[in-house]
Amino acid sequence: MTHPSTPCVTLPATAHETGIELPVIGQGTWYMGEGLAPHRDEVRALQQGLELGMTLIDTAEMYADGGAEEVVGEALAGRRTQAFLVSKVYPWNAGRQSAIEACERSLSRLGTDHLDLYLLHWPGSIPLEETLEAFERLREQGKIRRFGVSNFDVDELDALHALPGGGDCAVNQVLYHLGSRGIETALRPWACRHGLPLMAYCPLAQAGQLRHDLFGHPVVRELADGLGITPAQLLLAWVTRPVEGRRDVIAIPKAVQPAHVADNAAALAVRLDDETVARLDDAFPAPSGKVPLDIV
């Protein structure tokens, strides 16, 4: 699924699945299917991304009320095996039976018989025990390969891991970019200790309470120019950089224009040296203590 030189994050083996390596940059689909761009352009963008090595595609039943899943389904027609496919369930659809039904609706829109990864979109009022039971049933039925969560902070992850089967959680998808580094104080260390990879949404600072004008920041522009890359490539390389010699974050930027798709894929080849990372740390320091999880 990946080229030998492509930087990867490893999803650990579970009781039922072997470990798998995924490229550190995948493709997001938030706002696809809403008519903001021609449908055919969104389909083509995802296919272009696959061809350029961004084989993970992330979507959700929430995005355009299923419209984004339909875009993905069309993009994957005849090439499903090329992609690692991720979708997400609403918290209020995450019950013992409702999660089964929600997943089946997603599979129908996606035109596939299984998801490689199914995420609980954010913590809700339905007990996690119910959601885990539904995820296990879906796995037994062959409709999902792995499960994970999104927008979970440390307390929620502790609660999840205390439950039978909770340790098989494959990823936690959270907002993370250079201007929003709150996960680095507690959540990322927790994830590292537990071998839990992270997936970064809005890696190009499209949103978040701590957003800065990163693309126009003088340090970002200076460093990108010096490396002969774009600000977007610098930001993606930073989000997916190894920490203490280990890569544990997959970024999922969304792009529709061919140049932007190519730009994102080219960031897979960017390696930041210690001096560049230090300059970015000085310009955009992480908070000194735990802050509320940044969520959009």
Taken in order 278, 284, 290, 293, is the CA torsion positive or negative? negative
Q: Which of 31, 63, 90, 118 does the annotation list as catalytic?
A: 63
3-state secondary structure the chain: CCCCCCCEEEECCCCCCCCEEEECECECCCCCCCCCCCHHHHHHHHHHHHHCCCCEEECCCCHHHHHHHHHHHHHCCCCHHHCEEEEEECHHHCCCCHHHHHHHHHHHHHCCCCEEEEEECCCCCCCHHHHHHHHHHHHHCCCEEEEEEECCCHHHHHHHHCCCCHHHCCCEEEECECCECHHHCCHHHHHHHCCCCEEEECCCCCCCCCCCCCCCCHHHHHHHHHHCCCHHHHHHHHHCCCECCECCEEECCCCCCHHHHHHHHHHHHCCCCHHHHHHHHHHCCCCCCCCCCCCC
Pair type for strands 144-150 and 115-120: parallel
For residue 63 the two structure tokens come to: 């995005």
Tokens 């350029």 locate to 52
Catalytic residue at 63? Answer: yes
Q: Are 176 and 211 in contact (CB under 8 A)?
A: no
What residue type is assigned to position 224 of the chain? A
Q: Are 63 and 93 in contact (CB under 8 A)?
A: no
Catalytic residues: 63
